[in-house]
Chains A and B, each alone.
Chain A
């Protein structure tokens, strides 16, 4: 504990003007921040554990006729669709709830760059998760059909993979938007849960009982359109339009409002 040791770095090192922090570095730091905490590590572990457990469950309990690539991938994809948006939520809310934003936004005062880094990081996580889903699904498919003594059914193509990736990305950005809007970890997670699990049930109930809503639902229910993407099968032109409309209303608009507010607000 001596003060003299401070002189470790020569002041002349900084005679050259510092260069702007590259975006790639911000992305790297933000990715690391998503998984270097206890909660982050558990969420990551949870994805792996859930993928293995659900694959095992399909092999153990599903009828052999359902031992197809799409079934395995769907089973693995479901827990991931729950966890990934929460990672996106926490990547933003943690800066406020845990107050690490004080350090983050003084090291990178251009907040838009931090947000962009977080968004790219979330997209990378979503893409990596898609790869894992298809890989674990393939392994499950091979093991399952081998155990059943039937030839493995490979019923997914690259278009399916593309739709799945898009669906996962949209989900992650819903989490991102809710996180940026609410900026409080428990509040944002609850809001996401309501969006992902409570609202779809209510809307389905409404559609079941009210004929007028049955036709309108695909134009307003974003989760409904998202699920169409995730559950495989090609979408009709009308379905793509519906997805685009609901994406703008439920992702682009809230995210824009949230980002504008976040750039101006006080970081406490």
Chain B
């Protein structure tokens, strides 16, 4: 478990992280989401003790990171896959870490195999690695001590689609076995697919947080019918509000020439079904409306802090 309490980091007049608090729970993948320069990396660096915070505290497994006796065995960290000596081989990087943690040399070979680095690749120097290979090595480095907490900064960077899928499964598997996984990304889709909980940060401040299911839950029922006028009359009579998005084009034409319309109704499915039944309106479809995609939420939440100036006015 990771808990961050009121962490602030200032560089002169610039506030990189502003009173950030959140927890990442065991057995769950917590996605740390934010646009570039939002303060994700700085927050993670504060958690692992590389950056002293201006104020606030961070605890991992109930302790300050510096108080962990052998951190590699409890917390796997990947902050920057390129931050290794270019003159060392991939295998050597893992050997040094294994030796520091007091792990047997066999663990190095296991991890190389796990992340899909061949013996030949492991014998090459880091300076000759592609970004994807560095990322795999970095993940091997983080997993070496079989830690119960993982802290990964943009681990999907540089991985090919198969690699991203593999890493997602790996993180999921880790969380399912009880590990705490904190993973940052600006890749919305990646986080949405794997995370259980979300912490969204923009401009150094937390702008949203909670279970993904809660954040994505939207009220409403989507209903489709060839008799929209009769249905809307019935809904109005019943005092239920609705919205009518634009028709879905020619595919909506029925055999008898009646257009097919979709409505979004602010009620539960059963009520809508009863209303339609009483009004004698046949329905084609009755289901929970699609949630607002995380992407919409993300853009909305962070629009005010986006670097892209076109979005500035949209929200504020």
Q: Mark B139-168, 1 if CB is under 8 A from A, else 0.
A: 001010010100000000000001100100
CB distance A1 to B69 under 8 Å?
no
- Closest CB in chain B relative to A213 CB, distance in Å: 43
* A7-B173, A32-B99, A33-B96 known; A106 vs B71 contact (CB < 8 Å): yes
Q: Give every chain A residue within 8 A of B71 (Cβ-Cβ).
A: 106-109
Partner of A108, one of B93, B100, B107, B148: B100
Chain B nearest CB from A24 CB (Å) reads: 11
| In contact, A1 and B116 (Cβ under 8 angstroms) | yes
- Is A105 within 8 A of B49, CB to CB? yes
Q: How many residues of A contact B (CB 8 A)?
A: 45
Q: Is A147 engaged at the interface, CB distance under 8 Å to the other chain? A: no
CA distance A40 to B73 in the complex (A): 28
A80-93: CB near B (< 8 Å → 1, else 0) gives 00000000000000
- Kindly list chain A residues whose C-beta atoms are within 8 Å of the C-beta of B166: 1-3
Q: Is the CB of B49 within 8 A of A14?
A: no
Query: Shortest distance in angstroms between B60's beta carbon and chain A's nearest beta carbon?
Result: 11
- Chain A residues with CB below 8 A from B101, complex form: 21, 107
User: Is there an interface contact between B74 and A14, defined as CB atoms closer than 8 Å?
Assistant: yes
Contacts of B79 in A (CB 8 A): 102, 106
Chain A 1-51 interface residues, beta-carbon cutoff 8 Å to B: 1-9, 11, 13-14, 17-21, 25-26, 28-29, 32-33, 36-40
A21–B48 CA distance with the chains assembled, in angstroms: 17
> How long is the Cα–Cα vector from A268 to B82 in the complex, in angstroms?
12
Q: Are B99 and A19 in contact (CB under 8 A)?
A: no
Partner of B146, one of A14, A109, A266: A14
Contact of A100 among B65, B68, B85, B162 (CB under 8 A): B85
Known: A21-B102, A102-B79. A266 touches B51 (CB 8 A): yes
Per-position 1/0 for B56-77, Cβ under 8 A of A: 0000000001101111111101
Chain A residue numbers with a CB within 8 Å of B84 are 98-100, 103
- Tell me if B266 is interfacial: C-beta within 8 Å of chain A: no
Known: A3-B169, A102-B83. A109 touches B99 (CB 8 A): no
In the complex, the chain A residue whose C-beta lies closest to that of B127 is A38
A4 contacts B148, CB within 8 Å?
no
B172: CB under 8 A from chain A?
Answer: yes
Residues of B contacting A100 with CB < 8 Å?
83-85, 88
Bound-state CA distance A267–B172 (Å) is: 30
Q: Mark A215-237, 1 if CB is under 8 A from B, else 0.
A: 00000000000000000000000
Kindly state the separation between the CA atoms of A13 and B107 in the bound complex, as whole angstroms: 14
The answer to whether A26 and B48 touch across the interface, beta carbons within 8 angstroms, is no
Q: Who on chain B is nearest to A32 by CB? A: B96
Query: How distant is B118 from chain A, measured CB to nearest CB, in Å?
Result: 12
Check B97 for interface membership: any CB of A closer than 8 A.
Answer: yes
Q: Interface size class for chain B?
A: 35 or more
A29 contacts across to B, CB distance below 8 A: 96, 99-100
Q: Which residue of chain B has its CB nearest to the CB of A20?
A: B69
The verdict on B219 contacting chain A, using a C-beta distance below 8 Å, is: no
Determine the main DSSP class of A at the interface with B.
Answer: helix
Given the interface contacts A6-B170, A106-B71, does A11 sit within 8 Å of B99 by beta carbon?
no
Contact A14 B174 (CB under 8 A): no
- Return the chain B residue nearest A22 by Cβ: B102
Residue of B86, B87, B116, B148 near A11 (CB, 8 A) is: B148
Cβ of A94 under 8 Å from chain B: yes
B64 to chain A, nearest CB (A): 9
Which B residues are in CB contact (< 8 Å) with A25?
A: 99-100, 102
Say yes or no: A20-B162 contact (C-beta < 8 A), given A14-B148, A25-B100: no
Flag if A19 contacts B69 (CB, 8 Å). yes
B91: shortest Cβ distance to chain A, in Å?
10
A40 to chain B, nearest CB (A): 8
Complex: chain B residue closest to A39, CB-CB = B87
- Given A18-B69, A99-B83, A100-B83, are A6 and B100 neighbors across the interface (CB < 8 Å)? no
Chain B nearest CB from A239 CB (Å) reads 41
- Which B residues lie within 8 Å of A102 (CB)? 50, 79-80, 83
Seen from chain B, the residues whose Cβ lies within 8 Å of a Cβ on chain A are 45, 48-52, 65-66, 68-75, 77, 79-80, 82-88, 92-93, 96-97, 99-102, 107, 110, 113-114, 116, 125, 141, 143, 146, 148, 162-163, 166, 169-170, 172-174, 177-178
Given contacts A18-B73, A103-B93, A107-B100, 15 further A-B contacts (CB under 8 A): A3-B166, A7-B173, A21-B101, A21-B102, A26-B100, A32-B96, A37-B87, A94-B85, A98-B86, A103-B83, A105-B49, A106-B48, A106-B72, A107-B71, A109-B49
Q: List 9 A-B contacts (CB under 8 A).
A: A1-B116, A5-B113, A13-B146, A18-B70, A18-B73, A103-B84, A106-B49, A106-B79, A107-B72
| Closest A-B pairs by Cβ, 6 of them | A37-B87, A3-B169, A99-B83, A9-B146, A18-B70, A98-B85
